[in-house]
Amino acid sequence: MRGITIAIDGPAASGKSTTAAAVAEALGYCHLNSGQLYRAITWASLRGAWNGSENRFRRELERLDLRLDRHTPGYRVLVNGRDIGEGLVSVETSSHVSAVSTRKSVRDKVLAMLRNEGGQGGVVCDGRDIGTVVFPDAELKVFLIASAEERGRRRLRDRGLELTPDGIRREAGLLQARDAADSERILAPLRRAPDAVLLDTTTLSPSEVVDRIVSMARRAEAAFG
Ligand code: CDP
pLDDT per residue over 144-161, tens digit each?
Answer: 999 999 999 999 998 899
Of 74, 86, 216, which Cα lies nearest the Cα of 138?
Answer: 216
pLDDT of residue 225: 62
pLDDT of residue 80: 94
Atom of ligand 1 nearest to the CA of 38: 12
Cα of 223 vs centre of ligand 1, distance in Å, is: 30
Cα–Cα distance list, 90 to 46, 85, 86, 94, 201 (Å): 12, 9, 6, 6, 25
Atom of ligand 1 nearest to the CA of 182: 16
Residues lining ligand 1, Cβ inside 6 A:
12-13, 17, 34-35, 38-39, 97-98, 101, 127-130, 178, 182
Instruction: Please say whether the beta carbons of 153 and 12 come within 8 A.
Output: no
- DSSP letter, residue 15: S
Cα of 29 vs centre of ligand 1, distance in Å, is: 21
- List the beta bridge partners of residue 143: 9, 198
Instruction: Please say whether the beta carbons of 78 and 69 come within 8 A.
Output: yes
Of 29, 54, 223, 215, which Cα lies nearest the Cα of 126?
Answer: 29
Atom of ligand 1 nearest to the CA of 134: 23
Mutate to test the pocket of ligand 1, among 154, 182, 186, 191 (most ligand atoms within 8 A of CB): 182
Over residues 74-133, the pLDDT tens digits come to 899 999 999 999 999 999 999 999 999 999 999 999 999 999 999 999 999 999 999 999
Over residues 1-57, the pLDDT tens digits come to 689 999 999 999 999 999 999 999 999 999 999 999 999 999 999 999 999 899 999
pLDDT of residue 1: 66
What are the two backbone dihedrals, phi and then psi, of residue 193, each rounded to the nearest 5 degrees? Answer: -65, 145
Atom of ligand 1 nearest to the CA of 98: 16
Residue ranges in 48-192 assigned as alpha helix (H): 54-63, 91-100, 104-118, 148-158, 165-184
Cα of 56 vs centre of ligand 1, distance in Å, is: 23
Atom of ligand 1 nearest to the CA of 100: 16
Range list of β-strands (E), 27-96: 30-33, 66-71, 74-79, 82-83
Cα of 178 vs centre of ligand 1, distance in Å, is: 9
| CB-based burial label for 182 (10 Å; 0-12, 13-18, 19+) | buried
Instruction: Assign 140 to helix, strand or coil.
Output: strand
pLDDT of residue 224: 84
Q: Whose CA is nearest to atom 9 of ligand 1?
A: 35
